[in-house]
Structure 1
C-alpha cells in the first residue's frame, strides 16, 4: 500500500519514513509540508491508500484537509499524527481511522498500519474482483488490540461502552443465536433483572444506531428471543491470524517472510485492554497461539542465523511474560551465537534474580546446564579467535 506524509515539520517526515521502512507492506510515495501540495499529488495519484496528516499546519490545517477529502469522496484513509490530544473527537467525526499522539511508538504505528491495510485490501477486493451479491457486506473488523469496524464509508463510532461490548460478544459467537437471558447474565450480571433487561434493550438499540451510518444496521438480527450477528464477507483480523498461523505447519527458509507477515497481524490481545470476563478463555487461547507461533518463527530464524529478527520477536514475548523460561533459553542461544558473553551472563543473571524475587525459586537444572555450556562455547570461540 502506498502512503503519503503531510506535516509542516520535515523532521517528522524523516521519523515516520524510518518507522514505516520497517513495515514491508507499505511504501512512502511522497511527503509534503502543506495540504495544498498533498491535494495536488492525490489528484494525480489514485493509488494512494493512506495519508498520515498533522493537524496544526500553516495554511489549511489537517482538519480542513480531511474535511476537503471527505467532501470530494476521496477513498484515501487518514491518520492524524499530532502533538495535541484536544482534537480527537473532532477527528473521529471526520472518520479518520486513527489518532496518534507524538511521540509515536513503533508498535502503535504498526497497529494503525495493519488496520489501514485490512481496510485497503477489502476496498481492493470490491473494486478489482467480480461484483459480490447485492446483499454481501464488505468491511473490516479489528479486534486484536482494539475493537474497530470500518468500510469505505468510514468507521463505526460506538455510542456507549456497553454497545461496544455487545458487538464484541456477538462477534465472538458470530452466526449463532444468543438468548437474551445469556446476554443479560454475561454482560449485565449483577444488576437487578428488570433493570438488566431494559439495559439490554437500550444497548441493542445503541448498537444498531452505531452501525447504521456504515449501512450495517441489519447485521444485528433478532431471533427467537435472542440476537445474532451475520457477517458476510467481513475481514476479521483474529480469524485471519488464526487461519494463516495454522496453515504454516512448517516454517523454513521458503516460508519465513510469510510467517513474519502473519506475526504482524497480531497487534494486541483480543479486544485490547477491555478485559471482558466472558472473553477470558478466548483471549488466553489467542495469546498462547501467538506465543507458540512466535517461538516457532524465532527458532526458524535462529536456524537461518537471522539473530537480529529472532531477538526482536523474543524480546516482545519476554516483555509480555518475563518468567517464560523457554524464551530466555532462545535468547541465551542468540547471545552465544553472536559471541556476546557479557550479554549472555546479564540475561541469565537477571532471570535468576527475577525468579528469586517473584517466586522464591531457582532456575531449572536444564537452564543452568545450558548457561554453563553456552558460556564455555563463548570462551572456546574467543580462544580459537585469539590463536588465528
Structure 2
C-alpha cells in the first residue's frame, strides 16, 4: 500500500515516516506540508491512504478530504490531528479513521490494519468487488462497498440509520422505534422530519450503487433487504462456528479469521442502540483469541502467541485469563523480564483499580512458572 503524509509540521513527517516504516507492506510515497502539492502528487501517482492533519495553511484537512471524496473516491483519509472536536465532521466525510496526537505506533497500526481489511489489499494488487456484489464492513467502522466504489454518506445520521436497519435487516421497524433509538437526541417535534430527511439522504447515497431499492417501507416503518450482501461481522461469526476446536490443521484459518476483527462493531461511531451487539461480538472475539492463543502455545508458536495475546491484553488489562496465557507464553520464551513486569503490573492494577488481590489460581501459576526460570 502506498501512503502519503500531509502535515505542515516537518517533525510529524519524520515521526510518521518512522512509525509507518515499522509496518509491513507499506510504502511512504511522499510527505507534504500543504494540500496543494499533495493534490498534484495524487493526480500523477497511485496513492491508497493519506494521513492528513486538519489544521493546514490555505486549505484545511477537512476541505482537502471533501475535495478528494469528489475527485479521488478511492483515496482513503486518516486524520491525524491535535483536535478532538472534529471527529463527527471527519466521519461525515467518510474518513477511514481519526487519530488524536500524540500518535502511537499501536494506534497507527490499528488504522492501517483496518485499511487493509476494508479494502482487501494484498502485496501485489487491490481486490475489487465483483460486479453487482455488495460488501459491508462494520468491524472497526461502517463502510458499504460495491464495484462502483464506497458509498459516500451524505450525513452522519443517514449512515447511522443504515447501520440500524442493517442490524434489523429482513424486517420492518416501526417509525416510532427508529425515532426512539436513532433520533433520541432530537426533539419530538422535529424527529419525524429528521427521519424523513435521513431516509431521503440514505436512498440518495445508495442510488449510484444500484442499492436504492434495498430500503423498503410501508405505512408503519422502514426495513432493509440485503440477502446478497457480504457482511463482515456475520462472516466472522460463521467462521467462529467452524472453529469450535482449534488445532494444527485449522490454525492458519483461525489466524486469518482473527484478522477480520479490526475493531469493535461500528468502531468509534458509538451508536447507543448498538451497545448490546457491540458487547456480544466483543465477548465472542475475546474468547476466540484466548482459544487461538492457547493453540499457538500448544504448537510452540510462542512469538505469534505473545503478539496476539498482547493485542487482547491491551483491550482489557484486567482480564485474568489473558494474563495467565501471557505468563505462560513469556515463560515458554524464557523472557523473565516481561514475565515479571506483567505480573507485577497486573497485581498493582488490581489493587489500585479494584482494591483486590490476584486469585489463588493466578498466584500458584506465577510461582510454578517462576520456578521454571530457576530450573532452566
1:156 is aligned to 2:153: yes
Question: What's 2:198 paired with?
Answer: 206
1:291: Cα distance to partner? 0.5
TM-aligned CA distance change 1:281 to 1:86, over 3 Å? closer
- Aligned twin of 1:385: none
Residues 228-284 of structure 1: CA deviation (Å, up to 9, x unaligned): 112365453423433344444565567656544433432333344666665444323
Q: 1 CA distance for matches of 2:98 and 2:358? A: 44
Aligned partners of 1:326, 1:205: CA distance in 2, in Å? 48
**Structure 2 CA distance for aligned equivalents of residues 361 and 27 of structure 1:** 44
Deviation at 1:301, TM superposition (A): 3.3
CA distance in 1, matches of 2:291, 2:136: 28
Pair member with larger Rg: 1
Q: CA RMSD in A?
A: 4.4
1:125 corresponds to which of 128, 133, 155: 128
- Structure 2: how far apart are the matches of 1:369 and 1:90? 51
TM-score by length of 1: 0.72
Q: In the TM superposition, what whole-angstrom CA distance separates every residue of 1:50-85 from its partner, at most 9, and x where no partner exists?
A: 232345667877567556645545632333334456
Match of 2:15 in 1: 15
Aligned residues: 366
Query: In structure 1, how many angstroms separate the alpha carbons of the residues matched to 2:263 and 2:111?
Result: 12
2:375 to 366, 372, 380: 380
Checking the alignment, whether the CA contact within 8 Å between 1:111 and 1:267 is kept in structure 2 is yes
Secondary structure of 1:125's partner?
coil
Q: Structure 2 vs 1, CA of residues 95 and 290 (structure 1 numbering), >3 Å: closer, same or farther?
A: closer
Distance, in Å, in 1 between the alignment partners of 2:287 and 2:314 is: 15
Q: Which residue of 2 aligns with 1:52?
A: 51
Partner residue of 1:265 out of 251, 260, 263: 260
The Cα offsets for residues 90-109 of structure 1, whole Å up to 9 and x where unpaired, read as 76676544443332344543
Unaligned 5+ segments in structure 1 are: 382-388
SS of the residue corresponding to residue 155 of structure 1 reads coil
Structure 2, unaligned runs of 5 or more? none
Which secondary structure does the structure 2 equivalent of 1:30 belong to? Answer: strand
Q: Secondary structure at the match of 1:231?
A: coil
**CA 270–90 in structure 1, closer or farther in 2 if over 3 Å, else same:** closer
